[in-house]
């Protein structure tokens, strides 16, 4: 599945002339011998807005350009004559291109480019492998020198049509650890000092130049112990603090786990171990722990679990919080960088992708903070797709405490419209992750990096300062190159009104179908037609577990398009704390699926032609929005208490997504709900959202965002 990240390839006649030497060469370019230049970009996508996208000048790259039709690495067409050797390119001083390329013409060939760098002036060691892809040999130098970051890029199937600047988007081949340390409350009055931290890793690895993955051999074993922090004397407190030495934060790199489909028997070879030396009240001691995960197995009525190695992934960044207790170490690991080494730039072809592009707006394939981009892949994937919750204008991610059900699924606690205390939000900020919600909105932090402010979820007042907003793209929680959509942009993929988005047929729509006409939708001057169809009216199109809505947007224009909305559930497993009929919720993990289809200026949509007017079973693109609830303020339950506090409600049957558009002291959101209170069941744009609710975020692509 492509991740649909857009990067511009520039092609101008001026550039071609500038790189040509003779009139004959200029003529050759017209027949397929176009010239090119290579440039680099760091393919790192985090929530931080200050991520550098350029490498240091004089950074060395090892680069291949091979014939895409046969993938023969014996002939690197960047060298003259073509050979099995990589060519070493150097980052230019102005960061505009990679210098040192001997040959820069396609010469009638379709080329695939592969490159690797360790972000220094020292080239990576390349080992040829005949016609097959060469490998980069990466190893630990000794037991006290951590790995150097190694990055890899590919750009495949390029031809003279791509003449100009070809950007190589680099992703990290290793995993990065952000180390935090704290002591358990039982040591609150005890002096604890951190002396050293060691990790156990694979001693070396062979990185495949064509795939960007490390080759797996039977002898692979995490047997190399490396001390990543030593001779320190960092005081350990009951709040998580970054591990640092001489004011330098310790962030070691780690080989990704090489084996797939991990089993309990793989622990000996593929588990990472963490060893910590501490001094407790003057006494030195060493504690060690194996980093594992719990894997659930469905075995009928007797579900079982097994312990397997924790799977570290390339191009992922992990917060590792090490807690020192009297009996052992406790290690909590949370991914904060997602699996986004892009396949390629956006392709102009009709295929279903994880993201959707309409009117130049590309939507992220997952919620902000989610580690899964496919909520329909299963129960755990749905839980991993929810991401974090945010209050309007604040970039603090909030999480809900989790539990494990009988099948081993880790899920966020929520039960219909009950405001459970177990469902309260907590800030996902190391050192403050146990801070409970507070009623005062004074001195509340806006960013995770703020100092001497409150990171708590604040719910005491709706009238927040106007400075807490997302008007400025630089002041948003989305990654660099992404931002929060406006209400107008969301209107491109959402029904315009409650009646248009009446997916449960509760807005005076008693028949098997309904039709609604909307003006100024999706923008001023446009019009749209919506047709709702009950689930069993005809089998082919009314997919999912609910009714479907069909729309023709921008009707009568050259850029008209069809949309369909329906809801699907991720598996049949019911939550332990499921919504009951009396709670007016739904016990399943549900997903709103939005599908796009081509239309023309002459296209129409009626209750009569809706069945055949588009190929509904073959969407051009889809976007899947998990219906993961939202954080609302209220009593635990109408019959059990009167104390108001925020909690996650309606997980599975209602969701609210933020836009960046304000409305006085309130804001615009997209609300989707198909169970619960009948009066508010629909998919719609809502303009009066209370800013201190906790809602989800789905970012859109903007190459200028967070610059």
Instruction: Show the tokens assigned to 257.
Output: 């786990």
Q: Tell me, what's the pLDDT at 640?
A: 55
**Size of the chain in residues:** 707
What distance in Å separates the CA atoms of residue 86 and residue 99, rounded to the nearest whole number?
Answer: 14
What distance in Å separates the CA atoms of residue 509 and residue 505, rounded to the nearest whole number?
Answer: 5
Phi first, then psi: give them for residue 313, nearest 5 degrees. Answer: -115, 150
Q: Cβ–Cβ contacts within 10 Å for residue 324, how many?
A: 22
What distance in Å separates the CA atoms of residue 373 and residue 362, rounded to the nearest whole number?
Answer: 15
Tens-digit pLDDT profile for residues 416-461 = 888 888 899 999 887 788 899 998 888 899 988 888 899 999 987 7
Instruction: Show the tokens assigned to 499.
Output: 């009646």
What distance in Å separates the CA atoms of residue 476 and residue 706, rounded to the nearest whole number?
Answer: 8
The H or E element spanning position 490 is: helix 487-490
Tens-digit pLDDT profile for residues 148-177 = 999 999 999 999 888 888 989 888 899 989
DSSP symbol at 555 = T
Among 597, 500, 584, 598, smallest CA distance to 549 is for 500
DSSP symbol at 297 = E
Cβ pair 39, 166 in contact under 8 A: yes
The H or E element spanning position 172 is: strand 164-172
The H or E element spanning position 30 is: helix 23-30
Among 451, 452, 439, 437, smallest CA distance to 398 is for 437
Question: Which residue positions in the chain have pLDDT lower than 50?
Answer: 1-31, 44-51, 299-300, 336-353, 573-581, 639
Q: Tell me, what's the pLDDT at 19?
A: 32
Task: Identify the structural domains of the chain with CATH numbers, from first to last.
Answer: 13-172 (2.60.40), 175-335 (2.60.40), 362-487+630-701 (no CATH), 489-625 (no CATH)
Burial of 387 from C-beta contacts in 10 A (0-12 / 13-18 / 19+): buried
What distance in Å separates the CA atoms of residue 293 and residue 163, rounded to the nearest whole number?
Answer: 47
Instruction: Show the tokens assigned to 185.
Output: 């409350």
Which residues, other chains included, contact 7 with Cβ-Cβ below 8 Å and sequence gap of 6+? 41, 167, 169, 345, 703
Cβ pair 389, 423 in contact under 8 A: no
Percent of the chain with pLDDT strictly greater than 90: 44
Q: Tell me, what's the pLDDT at 681?
A: 79
Cβ pair 563, 550 in contact under 8 A: yes
Q: 629 has which bridge partners?
A: 655
Concatenating the DSSP letter of every residue in 623-688 gives EEEE--BEEEEE-S-TTT----EEEEE-TTTEEEEEEEEEETTEEEEEEEESSS-GGG-EEEEEEE
pTM of the model: 0.62
């Amino acid at each position: 599945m492509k991740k649909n990240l857009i990067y511009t390839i520039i092609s101008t006649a001026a550039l071609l002339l500038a790189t040509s030497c003779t009139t004959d060469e200029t003529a050759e370019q017209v027949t397929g011998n176009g010239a090119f230049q290579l440039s680099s970009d760091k393919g790192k996508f985090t929530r931080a807005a200050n991520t550098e996208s350029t490498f240091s000048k004089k950074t060395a790259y090892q680069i291949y350009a091979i014939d895409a039709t046969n993938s023969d690495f014996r002939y690197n067409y960047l060298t003259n004559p073509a050979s099995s050797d990589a060519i070493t390119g150097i980052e230019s001083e102005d960061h505009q291109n990679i210098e040192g390329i001997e040959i820069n013409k396609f010469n009638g060939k379709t080329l695939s480019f592969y490159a690797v760098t360790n972000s220094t002036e020292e080239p990576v060691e390349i080992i040829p492998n005949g016609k097959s892809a060469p490998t980069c040999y990466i190893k630990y130098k000794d037991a006290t020198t951590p790995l150097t970051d190694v990055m890899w890029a590919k750009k495949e199937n390029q031809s003279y049509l791509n003449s100009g600047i070809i950007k190589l988007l680099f992703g990290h081949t290793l995993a990065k650890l952000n180390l935090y340390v704290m002591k358990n409350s039982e040591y609150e009055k005890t002096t604890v000092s951190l002396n050293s931290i060691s990790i156990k890793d694979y001693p070396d690895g062979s990185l495949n130049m064509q795939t960007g993955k490390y080759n797996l051999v039977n002898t692979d074993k995490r047997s190399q112990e490396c001390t990543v922090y030593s001779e320190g004397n960092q005081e350990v407190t009951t709040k998580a603090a970054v591990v640092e030495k001489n004011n330098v934060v310790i962030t070691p790199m780690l080989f990704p786990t090489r084996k797939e489909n991990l089993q309990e028997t793989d622990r000996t070879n593929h588990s990472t171990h963490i060893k910590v030396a501490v001094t407790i009240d003057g006494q030195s001691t060493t504690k060690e722990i194996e980093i594992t995960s719990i894997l659930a197995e469905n075995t009928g009525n007797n579900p079982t679990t097994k312990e397997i190695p924790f799977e570290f992934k390339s191009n992922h960044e992990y917060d590792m919080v090490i807690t020192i207790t009297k009996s052992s170490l406790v290690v909590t690991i949370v991914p904060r960088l997602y699996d986004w080494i892009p396949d390629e730039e956006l392709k102009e072809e009709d295929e279903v992708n994880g993201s959707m592009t309409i009117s130049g707006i590309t939507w992220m394939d997952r919620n902000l903070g989610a580690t899964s981009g496919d909520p329909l892949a299963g129960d755990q994937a749905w839980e991993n797709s929810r991401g974090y919750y945010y209050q309007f204008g604040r970039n603090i991610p909030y999480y809900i405490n989790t539990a494990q059900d009988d099948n081993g699924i880790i899920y966020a606690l929520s039960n219909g419209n009950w405001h459970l205390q177990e469902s309260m939000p907590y800030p996902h900020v190391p050192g403050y992750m146990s801070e409970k919600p507070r009623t005062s909105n004074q001195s509340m932090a806006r960013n995770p990096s703020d100092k001497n402010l409150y990171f708590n979820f604040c719910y005491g007042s709706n009238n927040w300062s106007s400075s807490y907003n997302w008007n400025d793209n630089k002041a948003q929680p989305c990654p660099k190159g992404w931002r929060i959509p406006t209400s107008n942009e969301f209107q491109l993929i959402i029904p315009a009104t409650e009646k248009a988005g009446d997916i449960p047929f509760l807005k005076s729509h008693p028949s098997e179908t309904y039709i609604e006409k909307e003006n100024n939708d999706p923008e001023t001057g446009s019009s749209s037609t919506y047709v709702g169809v009950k689930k069993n009216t005809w089998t082919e199109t009314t997919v999912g577990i609910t009714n479907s809505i069909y729309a023709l947007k921008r009707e009568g224009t050259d850029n008209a398009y069809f949309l369909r909305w329906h809801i699907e559930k991720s598996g049949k497993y019911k939550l332990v704390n499921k919504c009951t009929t009396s709670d007016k919720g739904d016990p399943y993990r549900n997903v709103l699926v939005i599908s796009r289809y081509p239309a023309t200026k002459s296209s129409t949509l009626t209750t009569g032609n809706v069945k055949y007017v588009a190929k509904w079973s073959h969407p051009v693109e889809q976007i899947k929005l998990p219906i993961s609830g939202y954080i609302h303020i209220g009593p635990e339950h109408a019959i059990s208490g009167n104390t108001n506090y925020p909690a996650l409600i309606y997980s599975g049957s209602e969701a609210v997504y933020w836009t960046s558009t304000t409305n006085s002291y309130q804001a615009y959101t997209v609300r989707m709900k198909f169970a619960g209170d009948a009066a508010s069941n629909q998919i719609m744009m809502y303009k009066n959202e209370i800013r201190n609710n906790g809602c989800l975020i789905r970012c859109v692509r903007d190459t200028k965002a967070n610059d």
